[in-house]
Amino acid sequence: MNLLKLSGSYIKTKPLNTLLNIILLALGIAIITVLLLTSNQVEKSLTQNSRGIDLVVGAKGSPLQIILSSIFHIDYPTGNIPLAEAKQLSRNRLIKNTIPLSLGDNYQGYRIVGTNYEYLDLYQVEVSEGTRWGKPLEVALGAAVARQSGLSIGDTFASSHGFADDGLNVHDEHQFTVVGLLAPTQNVIDNLILTSLESVWQVHDHSSETETETDTTTHTGADHEHEHESSHEYESDHEHEHNHEHEHEQEHSEAITEQGLPAEGDEITSLLVQFRSPMAAVQLPRYINERTNMQAASPPFETARLFSLIGVGVDMLQGFAYVIVVIATLSIFIALYNSLKARRYDLAIMRSLGASPPLLFTHVILEGLLITLAGCLLGLLLGHAVIYAATQLYARPGQLGLSAGRFIAEELWVLIGSLVVGLVAALIPAIQAYRTNISQVLAER
């Protein structure tokens, strides 16, 4: 027998009441945990993913959309930009380097991104197995893609157009070959299939006609489809016929762009820009937005805007969670207060058996702490379970950097906070227990 067991035994005598209090507290804690985990992990993943990227340049449209599509690969692109214009911009003296991106296809929902080797350097990702893509239609898989899709080196697959895994518009005639697997990075790159710009172009050159008729699932913007379409028509007119792939050797050159922008080509989706000097942050966006047909988007600015947009909802949820926690505190207090009234005699008997007033004080405090500890642990568990369910239910929240298994330092504060709640709820009853006048209680018959 010890104080912990004793306090525990009183908790067990009122299982329903205890359960209610634990669940109430757990609910509040769970909401707080989910908010903490998501905001912490999403924020971390946002800054991690946009590290080293000063500006993203895409087709005219929503800058937030450009950031989401070109850095985090969650939204649809705003459209394409002409390569010539991108090249001209990249020669600007304020710009240190640019990395081109070309989007448009997916495999089982994993985005296929045409780019160059500098994109790998940007995220400091190593090739863990095989090699980088060396020819058109060769791809390297992000770590998560390799793990989840079951593809390995030497496997081939056909991509489907768009960004949703709908099985429609499969580009059957072009088979991608897996030549490399990338090491895990905890970045968005884990969920991407990387290839050369030339691969993306080749695939789209040959499917332009079917694509324009049946593709109703690519949602973003008519202008994207429109540009796509018109560009392909242009290509068709000037360059080749569809069914004679191998007659045009130049078209199917084995060369790929390893660095910088390709010498020839038509369109890319966006350009990741690194500044040469801080001055560029002031001048470049205005220049791009006013003087070109492109749109500049600043990652820190847009993510801040995103957070301020969802911040209202987060604040409300947080307020709600705190209200629940306060109600739980009150409920635990009332339960202890009432039960102590009925337990005056027990406390007096304990004093008559040699218990000191501080011991009774601790006994009651411990009871409050046990309940809140249970509520807090259940809440933390529930919070992680919700994140786990979210990562299982929704399409690839891994892209947002969410993971249920990761614990953060703030959760320790949640634990400490809920123990304070227990302390507060039990304080007045504990003082009452401390002050129990045993003689008076025992004299009551």
Partner 1 sequence: MIQLQNTSFRYTASSAPFQFPDWSVPSGEHAVLLGSSGSGKTTLLHLLAGLLHPEQGQIIIGDQDITKLKSNALDRFRGRKLGLVFQQPHLLASLTLEQNLLLAQYLAGIKQDREVIRDTLASLSLEHRRTARVTTLSQGEAQRAAIARAVLNDPLVILADEPTSSLDDENCYRVLELLQNQARQHQATLLIVTHDHRVKEHISYQLTLAKA
Give whichever of 3 and 127 is closer to partner 1, judged by the CB atom: 3
Give whichever of 302 and 346 is closer to partner 1, judged by the CB atom: 346
From 356, 407, 413, 416, residue interacting with partner 1 (rule: CB under 8 A): 356
How many residues are there in the chain? 445
Is residue 9 close enough to count as binding partner 1 by CB under 8 A?
Answer: yes
Residue 419 C-beta: closest distance to partner 1, Å: 23
Is residue 445 close enough to count as binding partner 1 by CB under 8 A?
Answer: yes
From 15, 150, 167, 354, residue interacting with partner 1 (rule: CB under 8 A): 354
Cα 44 to Cα 122: distance, rounded to the nearest angstrom: 17
Give whichever of 1 and 409 is closer to partner 1, judged by the CB atom: 1
Give whichever of 171 and 351 is closer to partner 1, judged by the CB atom: 351
Ramachandran class of 99: left when φ > 0, alpha when ψ lies in -120 to 50, beta otherwise: beta
**How many residues make contact with partner 1 (CB under 8 A)?**
25
- Residues numbered 415 to 444 that lie near partner 1 (CB under 8 A) are 438-439, 442-443
Is residue 17 close enough to count as binding partner 1 by CB under 8 A?
Answer: no
Is residue 338 close enough to count as binding partner 1 by CB under 8 A?
Answer: no
Give whichever of 1 and 393 is closer to partner 1, judged by the CB atom: 1
Per-residue DSSP letters for 269-329? SEEEEEESSTHHHHHHHHHHHHHSSEEEE-HHHHHHHHHHHHHHHHHHHHHHHHHHHHHHH
Residue 343 C-beta: closest distance to partner 1, Å: 9
From 183, 334, 349, 390, residue interacting with partner 1 (rule: CB under 8 A): 349
Give whichever of 259 and 352 is closer to partner 1, judged by the CB atom: 352
**Contact region for partner 1 (CB under 8 A) — 6-14, 176-184, 293-301, 309-317?**
6-14
Query: Per-residue contact track with partner 1, 101 to 140, x per CB under 8 A?
Result: ----------------------------------------
Is residue 16 close enough to count as binding partner 1 by CB under 8 A?
Answer: no
Is residue 351 close enough to count as binding partner 1 by CB under 8 A?
Answer: yes
The DSSP letter of residue 182 is E
Cα 367 to Cα 351: distance, rounded to the nearest angstrom: 18
From 353, 393, 405, 409, residue interacting with partner 1 (rule: CB under 8 A): 353
Sign of the CA dihedral with 257 first, then 259, 265, and 268 last: positive
**In which residue are the tokens 């702490």 written?**
369
Tokens of 114: 């045409």
Cα 429 to Cα 433: distance, rounded to the nearest angstrom: 6
Residue 10 C-beta: closest distance to partner 1, Å: 5
Give whichever of 311 and 358 is closer to partner 1, judged by the CB atom: 358
DSSP lists the bridge partners of residue 138 as 177
From 355, 370, 426, 433, residue interacting with partner 1 (rule: CB under 8 A): 355
Cα 380 to Cα 442: distance, rounded to the nearest angstrom: 43
**Contact region for partner 1 (CB under 8 A) — 10-18, 134-142, 275-283, 305-313?**
10-18
Is residue 346 close enough to count as binding partner 1 by CB under 8 A?
Answer: yes
Helices (H), 394-443: 409-435, 438-443
Q: Which amino acid is at 81?
A: I
Give whichever of 273 and 350 is closer to partner 1, judged by the CB atom: 350
Task: With H, G, I as helix, E, B as strand and everything else as coil, classify residue 184.
Answer: coil
Is-contact 360 351, C-beta < 8 A? yes
Cα 134 to Cα 142: distance, rounded to the nearest angstrom: 16
Is residue 10 close enough to count as binding partner 1 by CB under 8 A?
Answer: yes
CB atoms within 10 A of CB 86: 24
Give whichever of 86 and 438 is closer to partner 1, judged by the CB atom: 438
Give whichever of 227 and 367 is closer to partner 1, judged by the CB atom: 367
Is residue 2 close enough to count as binding partner 1 by CB under 8 A?
Answer: yes
Per-residue DSSP letters for 218-246? --S-HHHHHHHHHHHHHHHHHT--TT-GG
Give whichever of 134 and 358 is closer to partner 1, judged by the CB atom: 358
From 130, 357, 398, 417, residue interacting with partner 1 (rule: CB under 8 A): 357
Give whichever of 359 and 381 is closer to partner 1, judged by the CB atom: 359
From 164, 334, 359, 378, residue interacting with partner 1 (rule: CB under 8 A): 359
Cα 356 to Cα 348: distance, rounded to the nearest angstrom: 10
Burial class (CB within 10 angstroms; exposed 0-12, middle 13-18, buried 19+) of 193: buried
Per-residue DSSP letters for 84-150? HHHHHHHT-TTEEEEEEEEEEEEETTEEEEEE-HHHHHHTTPPEEEE----STTEEEE-HHHHHHH-
Site for partner 1, rule CB under 8 A: 1-2, 5-6, 9-10, 12-13, 345-346, 349-357, 359, 438-439, 442-443, 445
